[in-house]
Amino acid sequence: MKKLNIALILSILLFPISVFAYSNSVILGGENVGIHIEMPGVMVIGFYKVNGSNSKSNPAIEVGDIITEVNGSKITKIDELTTEIERKIQNDQITLTVDRNGETIKTTLSLSKVDGIYKTGLYVKDSITGLGTISYIDPETKVYGALGHEILESTSGKLVEVKTGSIFESTVTSIRKSSNGTAGEKNADFNFNHIFGNIETNTNHGIFGIYEEDITGETIEVATKDEVKVGNASIYTVLCGKEKTEYEIEITNIQEYNDVKNITFEITDKDLINQTGGIVQGMSGSPIVQNGKIIGAVTHVIIDNPLTGYGIFITTMLENGDKIL
């Protein structure tokens, strides 16, 4: 009898269990938000010549490297980088510690003094600001998901790591329309003082964090992957001010085993086409609804035909949002 109990306990402990905390119903997104991320260091995004010499000649420094220390002192911002260079430069050189895809590398950088100011030859960035759309808010956990894809630094193409971040109020002021070969974009004013929530992680399935405002709005049931069908559906997004509006689309293909491009769709709503020319930047994260359930979120536009785009399954976003708890 004791042996049987031990075997039973072991089988329970070793059995793989997948339990997700997200709810069967969520608050439907569609609202535009400003996005701001502070990086855990200073990212190298390019090089410039100083006295005819280019720091790119240093093979130990690459675009996308995150500078985390100067001569042993930790830094996270550009002004800290500048201060430490001025304080600790020795023989016109500094020692940099950089993070490259999780690997720590130390290298020496030679500087040149121009008009009394030391020049590194490096273009750098310590934060990024943009515009996107909330896909959902889980009313049980207050976890939200937005964008449906990762945020990349535009020059380097590198994933932006999050030290701290926030989503905040934005107001759409105008639309630059898409055309074949060119993606348009939403233009917006930001209210940095009205913060809706934090950003805890930036992944290839979206950005996720905790929504800190009071949650309002009706819940909508979450559809499973096998409920998503070819046919009529709709997206919710903002094209003017803060007004969220429903627009018609047609789902043309479903790719269950693609990582993020699960749903292929075409915009059919004439009002949306007239205003935007198709899918535009800033629309990423707009929730997709079919048969009264949320099924996914807009992620990508097909540049050669901006009436056509891709979406990610909402369950994939919810599973990834659940990981921050």
Is 204's pLDDT higher than 50? yes
**Across 283-304, average pLDDT:** 96
Q: Are 174 and 187 in contact (CB under 8 A)?
A: yes
Q: 3 or 25, which is more confident?
A: 25
- The mean of the pLDDT values for the chain is 89
Backbone angles phi, psi at 138, to 5 degrees: -80, 115
User: How much is the pLDDT for 2?
Assistant: 42
Q: Highest mean pLDDT range out of 66-75, 86-95, 192-201?
A: 192-201
Residue located via tokens 């996720």: 208
* Half-sphere exposure (Cβ direction) of 177: Cα atoms closer than 13 Å: 10
The answer, yes or no, to whether residue 191 has pLDDT greater than 60, is yes
Distance separating alpha carbons of residues 65 and 146, to the nearest angstrom = 26
- Range 224-237 average pLDDT: 97
What pLDDT does 306 receive? 95
The catalytic residues are 149, 269, 284
Q: What would the mean pLDDT of 257-278 be, rounded to a whole number?
A: 95
Task: Please state, in angstroms and as integers, the Cα–Cα distance from residue 78 to each residue in 85, 162, 190, 222, following that order.
Answer: 11, 16, 23, 43
For 234, the token pair is 């709709």
The pTM assigned to this predicted structure is: 0.88
The maximal CA–CA distance of the chain, rounded, in angstroms, is: 86
pLDDT above 90 (res 223): yes
Beta bridge partners of 231: 251
Look at the block and give the residue holding tokens 């930036």. Answer: 202
Asked whether residue 233 carries a pLDDT value surpassing 90, the answer given is yes
* Confidence category of residue 286, pLDDT binned at 50, 70, 90: very high
Bridge partners for 92 per DSSP: none
User: For the purposes of burial, counting CB atoms within 10 Å of the CB of 201, is it exposed (0-12), middle (13-18) or buried (19 or more)?
Assistant: middle
pLDDT at 221 over 70: yes
Amino acid identity, position 309: G
Tell me what pLDDT residue 147 has. 96
Mean pLDDT, residues 249-264 taken together: 93
Distance CA 270, CA 181 (A): 20
Mean pLDDT calculated for residue range 107-131: 87
Residue 172: the pLDDT is 97
Q: What is the DSSP letter of 78?
A: H
Q: Are 294 and 223 in contact (CB under 8 A)?
A: yes
Written in H, E and C, the secondary structure of 264-278 is EEEECCHHHHHHHCC
- What SS3 class is residue 13? helix
